[in-house]
Structure 1
């Protein structure tokens, strides 16, 4: 991997990227409220299950397919995958999250002169905008997929650090412990067949809907 591509990847996968990732928990805050996550062990179990049962089965495989479609300039497939991802957000909060962050990243890319993922102002998901950045900057796809997954993982761990609460050292232990799980998820996402794709996660959807009316929320999802 060339140094320039690595630096671009680090920049666009960084939690310092001003697209608002820190303000979302993707249902984790509701799990905390319901007592499903209470300590480091239950946090690790929750994140690992979310990773393998949801992210590796749908979000990551669609992102991988978006990268492949952009690489061969298949605009129809790129648009279709983006529509599929938006349609899969089955609660108001989860859809608003990816649309807001996708818009913010698309706007940032345009202002930096990197690319313009949504020139007509159409809604764009975060994975679609990130795939556009990866393509425009020549970032290798396997590394981009790992970065996307790590960015998701890091945000989930930070929610636990702030809200369980866990200490900073415990948070770093979580990241280290879940590293092998992240590698497995990436391998699965690259190889999962079309007819095995699934965003079936009714428990997470119910938690997300409860979060919409949860009192005293810190996060937007």
Structure 2
């Protein structure tokens, strides 16, 4: 990868990116509250299962398709896959999360003036912009290789889940880093799978996760927004 593209990728994947990713647990907080995640071992099982059964089969393949749509300047494909992703958010919290983060990232892309007029028009045609759409637009505008974006986005997702566990289980900082390090093969395998799936193999079927998200909406005490 060119040095410039690598630096752009590091900026896009950074926890300091002002889109609010740190404020969401994606159902993990409720799993901790219910005792399903209570130590390093159960945390790894949760994160690995979520990554391999949900993210690798839907979120990451959607990002891959949206990047391809922006590379090809296909606004119809951008709209189609954005609408599919929004339709897949089956709880109020999951939908609000992707719309809020997508809006924040799209606004940042506009303020930094990194995308061309056609890419911005593809964003502006959408009533709600999901996070994968805004991320795809930014990555293509910065000329970051699509494969690297998939790897980085999955690492960022895993890192955020680990940080939730560090703060809320709680796990120690060293245990958190050990857990993150142990996920490297899972991330690589999930990334490779996501880039190979055909359209009819995509699936976000995770009813247990959806129920946890709904329970989180009415959870008495919580730190995270999902």
TM-score tier, shorter chain, comes to over 0.9
Unpaired runs of 5+ residues, structure 1, are: none
1:1-221 aligned at under 5 Å gives the runs: 1-115=1-115, 116=120, 118-119=123-124, 122-221=127-226
**Count of residues paired in the alignment:** 221
Could you tell me how far apart the structure 1 residues matched to 2:72 and 2:106 are? 21
Could you tell me how far apart the structure 2 residues matched to 1:68 and 1:176 are? 30
Q: TM-score, normalised by structure 1?
A: 0.98
Q: C-alpha displacement at 1:193, in angstroms?
A: 1.6
DSSP-derived class of the 2:183 partner: helix
Could you tell me how far apart the structure 2 residues matched to 1:216 and 1:156 are? 19
Could you tell me how far apart the structure 2 residues matched to 1:151 and 1:106 are? 18
DSSP-derived class of the 2:124 partner: coil
Could you tell me how far apart the structure 2 residues matched to 1:92 and 1:169 are? 34
Could you tell me how far apart the structure 1 residues matched to 2:6 and 2:91 are? 35
Q: C-alpha displacement at 1:74, in angstroms?
A: 1.5
Could you tell me how far apart the structure 2 residues matched to 1:98 and 1:177 are? 27
Per-residue deviation, residues 120-174 of structure 1 (Å, max 9, x unmatched): 5721011100000011010001001111111111100000000000011111101
Per-residue deviation, residues 89-140 of structure 1 (Å, max 9, x unmatched): 0000000000000000011111111134633572101110000001101000
Unpaired runs of 5+ residues, structure 2, are: none
List structure 1 segments (4+ residues) > 4 angstroms apart after TM superposition.
Answer: none
The RMSD of aligned alpha carbons is: 1.0
Q: TM-score, normalised by structure 2?
A: 0.95
Please identify, of 63-72 and 48-57, the stretch whose mean Cα deviation from structure 2 is larger.
Answer: 63-72
Could you tell me how far apart the structure 2 residues matched to 1:121 and 1:73 are? 15
Q: C-alpha displacement at 1:50, in angstroms?
A: 0.1
Q: C-alpha displacement at 1:192, in angstroms?
A: 1.1
